[in-house]
Amino acid sequence: MDMRIYNQAMVASYSRRTAARNSAYMLPLLQPGMHILDVGCGPGTITLDLATYVPEGSVTGVDASNSVIEAASELCKQRGTTNASFSVGDINKLPFEDNSFDIVHTHQVLGHLPGKQGDPGPVWGLKEMRRVCKPGGFVCAREVEWSTVVLYPRIQGVNESISLLEKLSNHAGKIMAGGRGKEFARRAGFKPEDILASAAPVTYTNTADREWWGENQASRFELGSDLNKAVELGFATEEEAARVPEAWRNWAKADDAFYSALDGQIVCKK
């Protein structure tokens, strides 16, 4: 079962991700012979980048979406990468033995996991990542902190869409709170002294970035089910939902447009 709905806009967004841009915080840990697991790998751009850092090792990418794994496998062939592989896998039950990988990495995945049995979804995800990590190895995660989002100008429909996503996440028992990474890691079994936390900004303000981000968000809302779900749950009227995509396009056209948010990052030693 897919943990996330992938539409063309989302795959395009994830395809812009690179190890240097999105996983720089954990690159100093990498050694040539390491074996890495990339959980929730999406179209595989970060995964394949990581493979270049471990030429004598390997990188395995798993994702719950069959279609996106097919796309990642095709990209792997196109790049000619020989030490990377991709397969379908659920973060809640990873298809690997205990203590299998030197590094277990994920990017913007934990916030999509619903909670259960009294623990937030990120805790369960980190527990499973910890299980397949070797003793002395590292679990690394980067997640957005929704409370830090800054948007300007405040165009009607844009700010409301951020609020809608937060409401939908809360309704599903999901927590988009990268700032709580240390807490989640501790609850997953890591000792406080073995958790290193940091933060990194994501900013879109130049013409190319804001046009891409605005169109990406507009397409995501048009092609996905977020707006339909928001109307169904009473979080928005049909009229409010209908203006969201165009609002993002109008935002992107503004010369003064600015978007920024902080991502929380954790490196946890097992």
The full set of domains in the chain, from first to last, is: 8-269 (3.40.50.150)
Judge whether 266 and 125 are in contact, CB under 8 Å. Answer: no
Q: Are strands 258-269 and 133-152 parallel, antiparallel or unpaired?
A: antiparallel
The predicted structure's pLDDT at residue 2: 38
Give the chain's residues under pLDDT 50: 1-5
The predicted structure's pLDDT at residue 46: 97
The predicted structure's pLDDT at residue 14: 64
The predicted structure's pLDDT at residue 75: 93
The predicted structure's pLDDT at residue 122: 95
* CA 38 to chain CA centroid, nearest Å: 11
- Alpha-carbon distance of 233 to 220, in angstroms, equals 19
Judge whether 43 and 11 are in contact, CB under 8 Å. Answer: yes
The predicted structure's pLDDT at residue 50: 98
Sequence-separated (6 or more) residues with CB below 8 Å from residue 42: 6, 11, 14, 15, 17, 63, 68, 72
